[in-house]
Chain A
Amino acid sequence: MASHLSRRECLGIGGRLLGAGWLGLNAPGVLAAAEAAAASIEATAPWAILQPAEVATLRAVADQVYPPDNGPGAADIGAVRFMDAALAGFMAGALGMVRDGMTDLDQRASATAGSTYADLDFDAQTRVLTQVENTPFFGTIHFLTMCGVFTLPVYGGNRDLAGWKAIGFESRHVWTPPFGYYDASA
């Protein structure tokens, strides 16, 4: 888990999957996906593209990336709702690769513990995920998890603003000085 994802690589994941030109052409898809996600934010709502077993796998991976700690983990914050909307919409091109990655995780889990990835305990999930942490699959899910935790709730994630609360962000348009501890005490 010590490997490093540089700023350029991080942005690159977004760029490759959401290349500026490609998105320019497919921008209405972003909007449709956003609206669909907002409409399906209730946990009981039907899933757009993901099967129940896939939801379970992605919930497990999302919580590995951003686990419960200072508040709920990525799964309960709604990251998989965001992924469902994204993979059904503007990131449909990545769906096959994501499904292959999930199959691979289950095969690795089955080989070591005879269970699905989602049914492994947390530490065993961590060990399996470490084996694939440099794959495009992991990079994509990492990217989607961050989007699902930290973007506007209208995109399906960031439920109850739990992502923003975890980092201390308040969505207010107007601030007045002092802004932080050091300018307040200067």
Chain B
Amino acid sequence: MSGRHRLGTTMPAPEPAVRFPTREPVDFVIVGSGASGGILARELSTAGFDVVVLEQGPYRTAADFSHDEMVNFIQGEMTSHPGWNDPQTFRDDPDAVADANANGGLPPALYARTVGGASVHFSGNYWRMRPLDFKERSLLGPMSGTGFADWPISYDELEPYYTRVEWEIGVSGEPGPFDPPRSKPYPLPPMPVKSSGVLLEKGARALGLHPQAAPVAILSQAYNGRPACVHCGFCMGFGCEMNAKSSTLATVLPQAEATGRCEIRPLSTVYRVDTGDDGRVDQVRYYDAQGAEQAQKARAVILAANGAETPRLLLMSASSAHPDGLANSSGLVGKYLMGNGHSTLHATFDEPVNDWKSIQVTRIIHDFYETDPARGHYGGGGIDARPLLNATPLMHALTETGMGTPRWGKDFRRDVDFGFSHHVAVLGSTTSVPLERNSVSLDPTVTDDKGRPALRVTYRDHDDDLAMMQFLQDRGEEIMDAAGARRTWREPVVPQTLLAHLLGTCRMGNDPATSVVDAAHRSHDVPNLFICDGSSLVSSGRGQPTLTIQALAFRAADKIIEAARNNEI
């Protein structure tokens, strides 16, 4: 156990490989160093462009991570702003006043603020989307009252970039029976199966389903100079002390810095992108590590700040030329927020499962991926088995209690003591119907300590999303029963108020009236402004979006480099 209890704001950042002056324009400023920003930084700097990456979180590295639940979960070290109070507000009804305390202080748009972004603390589930995800509107027909739409690109166009992600960062897995076509196998064999995976597999096979190894961005063997996972168990919500988790921090960001053309500026919180008289963006304003106002000039700007902060920044960057927010002539910046639906079924077994060891997920079920009209609603999803928050002692104790069971006293203690090593959660992850009323916007009254309008989330799952969540929970219960569970209990399926997948808020499309960026991630309104992160997604996929976000980033980088070399930015 690490003895460190370090706080993000106190640690020194590594010495940057290069420092660019703020008053000279660099080729690109990238806002955000996470799943997509890291890849864009590596690709553009490798191609010979000067790049400044502005990251609001500190520059934590593997040596700074610990197994301390107080720091990681209770204090929320990685998910809170390192310098000041930056509240978010939530409402489920667009006519209601948003609540600043909807989740008891947890931000409704949950993401990591650290170099590497959420790829540092994620669980690394790396599902490809399938061809149908890109053209489901055409396959199924319209859904009235929704923004259900096809993508302007196809799976075939993205496939080479899925392969690039898997090989560049290191993904462990093996193809399953329903997987889309792939041009190369996985670079690494799957992770060793856990008891939770064995039980999921057993129950699923008994029901005629087709479980498969989970593809994960975690190394099952040494790869590219990084060691294999040691199965410590402190994975979801924690940074990896081994660099075995394939975050951008452990993979592409060091490669970007090694070019000598990429400066990662941590503790730099962007609050505005400025537009010049010619209608082009020319500088990015931010608060530096001391909270002082700075501005970095740039020839082009790429927003990769995630599906919540990217639209917030665009809306904060309104000007006389862009009165409704930068790149917002469509009025769709911040709209069509999708979070993926999640439902949870809990089970306990007679013998030790020990799901607190190793990674979160080793087996998944994709039999219910496609929309089936027989189910009576739109939607599809995947099922996996995992410890969820029961992977670590304190979070287990705080969340173990089942429905209708005691939450204190001797029986409670027996549940807690038994449950830690005998518990399995079955998670259903689903589609989200894109709805205009689900959005990220600027709160009209609440501000952060710097006076920036608070990020306001308006969200209510579509009834079909809730039906799909319920459907997968029902299947989860059948699977656990078939696997021989001694007891199962359900977390009620209710509209979500906390989103960890932030998708769809600057959607990609060919028509400037119905989308924010084009198929090359260039904003329709501003020729030297690009947007590439979860906000670009037109549909939500089936619950694990990061691989698609990174494939889009590799593809966007190719398009941006080509345009820059042709002097077309």
Chain A residues packing against B (C-beta within 8 Å): 1-16, 18-25, 27-28, 30-31, 34, 64-67, 69-70, 126, 129, 133, 142-143, 146-147, 149-152, 154-155, 163-164, 166-169, 171-184, 186
Given known contacts A7-B389, A8-B497, A151-B69, what 12 new A-B pairs fall within 8 Å (CB)?
A: A1-B407, A4-B401, A8-B103, A11-B103, A11-B106, A14-B398, A24-B76, A66-B408, A133-B408, A167-B396, A167-B416, A177-B193
Which residues of the other chain, A, contact B192 by a CB distance below 8 angstroms? 177, 179, 183
B393 touches A (CB below 8 Å)? yes
Q: List 18 A-B contacts (CB under 8 A).
A: A2-B404, A2-B406, A14-B398, A16-B101, A19-B104, A30-B70, A30-B71, A129-B408, A147-B70, A151-B68, A166-B413, A167-B417, A167-B421, A175-B357, A177-B193, A177-B231, A180-B351, A181-B351
Q: State in angstroms the CA–CA spacing of A182 and B105 once bound together.
A: 39
Q: State in angstroms the CA–CA spacing of A26 and B276 once bound together.
A: 40
B349 touches A (CB below 8 Å)? yes
Closest A residue to B9 using CB positions: A27
Nearest CB of A to B458, in Å: 19
Q: State in angstroms the CA–CA spacing of A7 and B401 once bound together.
A: 8
Nearest CB of A to B302, in Å: 27
Closest B residue to A147 using CB positions: B394
Which residues of the other chain, A, contact B394 by a CB distance below 8 angstroms? 146-147, 150-151
Chain A binding surface SS class? helix
Which residues of the other chain, B, contact A12 by a CB distance below 8 angstroms? 103-106
Which residues of the other chain, A, contact B349 by a CB distance below 8 angstroms? 182
In the complex with contacts A2-B404, A181-B351, A186-B198, A28-B393 CB distance below 8 A: no
Which residues of the other chain, A, contact B101 by a CB distance below 8 angstroms? 16, 19
Do A34 and B5 touch (CB < 8 A)?
yes
Which residues of the other chain, B, contact A167 by a CB distance below 8 angstroms? 393, 396-397, 416-417, 419-421
Nearest CB of B to A16, in Å: 5
Interface 9-residue window, one of B29-37, B80-88, B281-289: B80-88
Q: State in angstroms the CA–CA spacing of A21 and B82 once bound together.
A: 9
Which residues of the other chain, A, contact B75 by a CB distance below 8 angstroms? 18, 20, 23, 27, 30
Q: State in angstroms the CA–CA spacing of A22 and B106 once bound together.
A: 11
Nearest CB of A to B237, in Å: 12
Q: State in angstroms the CA–CA spacing of A173 and B5 once bound together.
A: 17
In the complex with contacts A12-B104, A21-B81, A179-B195 CB distance below 8 A: yes
Do A15 and B106 touch (CB < 8 A)?
yes
Q: Of A7, A164, A168, A183, which one neighbours B198 at CB under 8 angstroms?
A: A183
Which residues of the other chain, B, contact A172 by a CB distance below 8 angstroms? 232
Interchain pairs with CB closer than 8 A, number:
236
B74 touches A (CB below 8 Å)? yes
Nearest CB of A to B393, in Å: 4
Q: State in angstroms the CA–CA spacing of A28 and B6 once bound together.
A: 10
B79 touches A (CB below 8 Å)? yes
Q: State in angstroms the CA–CA spacing of A169 and B75 once bound together.
A: 22
Nearest CB of B to A60, in Å: 13
Which residues of the other chain, B, contact A175 by a CB distance below 8 angstroms? 230-233, 357-358
Which residues of the other chain, A, contact B292 by a CB distance below 8 angstroms? none
The size bracket of the interface on B is: 35 or more
Do B397 and A146 touch (CB < 8 A)?
yes
Which residues of the other chain, B, contact A8 by a CB distance below 8 angstroms? 103-104, 497-498
Q: State in angstroms the CA–CA spacing of A126 and B104 once bound together.
A: 28
Q: State in angstroms the CA–CA spacing of A104 and B95 once bound together.
A: 41
Do A65 and B355 touch (CB < 8 A)?
no
A8, A19, A20, A151: which has the most chain B beta carbons within 10 Å? A20
A24, A146, A175: which has the most chain B beta carbons within 10 Å? A24
Nearest CB of A to B188, in Å: 16
Q: State in angstroms the CA–CA spacing of A142 and B106 once bound together.
A: 19
Do B352 and A168 touch (CB < 8 A)?
yes
Do B408 and A64 touch (CB < 8 A)?
yes
Do A180 and B103 touch (CB < 8 A)?
no
Nearest CB of B to A110, in Å: 23
In the complex with contacts A14-B74, A175-B357, A179-B194, A28-B399 CB distance below 8 A: no
Q: State in angstroms the CA–CA spacing of A180 and B80 once bound together.
A: 35
In the complex with contacts A69-B414, A70-B413, A179-B358 CB distance below 8 A: yes
Do A24 and B491 touch (CB < 8 A)?
no
B7, B103, B105, B107: which has the most chain A beta carbons within 10 Å? B105
Q: State in angstroms the CA–CA spacing of A5 and B435 once bound together.
A: 31
Q: State in angstroms the CA–CA spacing of A164 and B82 once bound together.
A: 31
Which residues of the other chain, B, contact A154 by a CB distance below 8 angstroms? 3, 5
Q: State in angstroms the CA–CA spacing of A73 and B98 once bound together.
A: 42
B186 touches A (CB below 8 Å)? no
B62 touches A (CB below 8 Å)? no
Closest A residue to B492 using CB positions: A6
A152, A155, A176: which has the most chain B beta carbons within 10 Å? A152
Do B195 and A66 touch (CB < 8 A)?
no
Do B399 and A7 touch (CB < 8 A)?
yes
Which residues of the other chain, B, contact A31 by a CB distance below 8 angstroms? 5, 7
Q: State in angstroms the CA–CA spacing of A23 and B411 once bound together.
A: 33
In the complex with contacts A11-B106, A167-B421, A147-B74 CB distance below 8 A: yes
